[in-house]
Structure 1
């Protein structure tokens, strides 16, 4: 029996996401009880600096009263209504207008969903709908990237380019293809420059399109900066070269801004950081600082107009979610965006983010650090046991798991993506909290040396 009765009840009744269900029965959960700014506290009272902002998402931290008050006000007026059959509500209308106006490129319409996974699934359905509207029923294939992350629903998990999201789920679905990731550190060839690597990735995409038939490819899905795949920052010219290929074949570009959106990279959108001009933008997470489940698909007229025509032809766009456009979620999102602007949190992400990147790079000479990468307030430290070969333990993730546990013991929450320590602190963090984070990593690196010797490759 687990010593904590609440832990025991959890084990008895709950199946957890991204967890080994069998081992969880023996260990039980860490139960988070409350939050305060960028910190959370467990039921024993231990404080943790949550350097992952929950799940890349709590941009305003864990105790923003104005978001709570916005939810309360809306609950008192209209706690729920749907957007089916030409229904709407005030917050939903205001938020849609705001998202179109702040988009980095001209956009036209917004469709609301509840999560990034739902949003990406919906985009895939709308792409098929659009292709049929254009009289191009063969144009249904989409390309995403290895190491990319786009969610866990059936279609979104198929877009995701991570093996664990496919293994034992019978995924990916047909017509979803993957091309190489922009990870120069891991995927470049000996002696290859970043420029040459970016050119090769664009040429590989072009070759794949030609093999499949350009008239069969509808869209390309990508994150400006890959998040859950390990915080992979694209090399210079990568996005320019990729977009040239897509434009040549009139292939839709879907920017998954679920992690990057609303300040994470030091700009409002990751697309602004990398000069990306998408046809569709998917947002969630920091849209409400995750105080309420909400996501949105922002599309241009090139995407929207054929869909509108097809709905007129068949009589209905028969798709939607009960909670899509939820007035409470929309009210929270509106207040969240106001706070980001009022408190200049995007400028803070740029300024404090630069400080974080500089401080993290002081760790680069450590014998266990292969690469430090990141932009704005998102970063990763790649752990290795052999710098020259760029490898850690025989089993990927073994070193990262130990490091993550040691960070946890120090009261700092990070995430290991295999052997990379990923971090994505709330937009509200200050220099002292960044120092706490980086000093914690530095201490763990020294502690780690003695613990990983048995994990080393032969």
Structure 2
């Protein structure tokens, strides 16, 4: 494809530095320019329409072009386009959304603090964990346990809790107080002839052994996604989360549940913590909070977590943290309307009702000669592929993802898997269209290799 230097593609290649790409490759090839969106579809500047099978970045619950969100944003922009929540000040949308999140939370919670992204929220939650330990006089209790293949963002602290080498390499991460335990993905890390039950017990033993080795008195919190998203939609084995919570309680370690991807209906419940019976001290949410129409995230904390922090701020005279856009009135107004729509249209139930069709369709695709297995929960899933003998790591998944794009479907490839997270508004018929596109893509790649 020839790219004209004055076209939008040419100007993009000349001036914009993109995330999560090979920058030198991007300078040569450019990328896909999306011009518009409608429902579960997006359209590029050449008029080609795609099913957005990852809901943007795991996030556009209501699909593209939801007029109610645009109208609310416009109305709030005209009424109060910006105000802050510093220095004993606030505004209506942030108050109403905080109240809604407390009422909606899967376990009793006390306070909400708003930030603008999942990375920021996890980063601040980490700072708050350390602040709380100091408040309690436990100055040595600062280590954070993340998990290999876990993803919690890309700031210095959140990127350190993340357990993916691509987010560490050449960034001098992780920080030395961040440690990582085993990844509970049976399909990737089970030993030969190991049962799922034995695998779960080994994962829990790895966690407890790490705690004992490091010293429980030095460990403040454990971070975990209920289902690991950016690591490849990794679903934990039965008994894993129950065992983790028992160990954390035994050693007085806080549990932070990162529901940035899983929250607000993705698993067929409002929160994945409900689906998997997780009772966190802190819940981190973003993405589907506003369907990503506006940047917004929230840290939802219980009273056990909050009270020592409040006491320390009283001792010091201030909680010395804040972002200019924390609780932004337009973002919180859009978030409030977005959650109302999710409830009014019963989109959580839609995810639950389509789960069998979705996971069944992935299981059928897993019988293809290029496929290895499938996994998922609700409307979050992955198809694991078999790398061919001469392939580099991830080549098979990258080839199938590219073929999906040719077939009018955008997915994400992670390691040897292609991942799916369609908008919650997707219908049964549209789900069939998405799965059919994957089947065509698999056949396209198979034919090219024949």
- TM-score, normalised with respect to structure 1: 0.96
> Displacement, 1:451?
3.5
Distance 1:158 1:2 in 2: 38
Contact map agreement 1:139 1:218 (CA 8 A) in 2: yes
Distance 2:447 2:154 in 1: 37
SS of the equivalent of 1:362 reads helix
Distance 2:153 2:287 in 1: 12
- String of CA shifts for 1:7-28, please: whole Å, max 9, x gaps: 1111111000101111111111
> Displacement, 1:393?
5.5
Aligned with residue 432 of structure 2, among 426, 435, 440 = 435
Q: CA RMSD in A?
A: 1.1
> Displacement, 1:394?
4.5
- String of CA shifts for 1:279-327, please: whole Å, max 9, x gaps: 0000000000000000000000111000000000011001010001001
Bigger shift: residues 25-34 or 92-101: 25-34
Equivalent residue, structure 1, for 2:3: 2
Alignment of 1:161-200 (within 5 A): 161-200=163-202
Distance 2:250 2:436 in 1: 48
Contact map agreement 2:387 2:393 (CA 8 A) in 1: no
> Displacement, 1:155?
0.9
Aligned with residue 410 of structure 1, among 400, 407, 411 = 407
> Displacement, 1:371?
1.2
Contact map agreement 2:355 2:378 (CA 8 A) in 1: yes
Bigger shift: residues 335-344 or 22-31: 22-31
Distance 1:451 1:169 in 2: 38
Distance 1:212 1:264 in 2: 35
Stretches of structure 2 that go unaligned for 5 or more consecutive residues are none
- TM-score, normalised with respect to structure 2: 0.98
Aligned with residue 14 of structure 2, among 12, 15, 20 = 12
Equivalent residue, structure 1, for 2:76: 74
Equivalent residue, structure 2, for 1:222: 224
Contact map agreement 2:256 2:284 (CA 8 A) in 1: yes
Contact map agreement 1:33 1:43 (CA 8 A) in 2: yes
Which consecutive segments of 4 or more residues in structure 1 shift more than 6 A?
Answer: none
SS of the equivalent of 1:143 reads strand
Equivalent residue, structure 1, for 2:416: 419
Contact map agreement 1:145 1:180 (CA 8 A) in 2: yes
Aligned with residue 394 of structure 2, among 397, 405, 412 = 397
Contact map agreement 1:82 1:88 (CA 8 A) in 2: yes
Do residues 281 (structure 1) and 278 (structure 2) align? no
Equivalent residue, structure 1, for 2:369: 367
- String of CA shifts for 1:355-398, please: whole Å, max 9, x gaps: 11111111222222111000000100000047xxxxx7642111
Alignment of 1:27-426 (within 5 A): 27-385=29-387, 394-426=391-423
> Displacement, 1:428?
0.1
Contact map agreement 1:399 1:452 (CA 8 A) in 2: no
Contact map agreement 1:108 1:301 (CA 8 A) in 2: yes
Stretches of structure 1 that go unaligned for 5 or more consecutive residues are 387-391, 454-458
SS of the equivalent of 1:442 reads helix
Aligned with residue 449 of structure 1, among 437, 443, 446 = 446
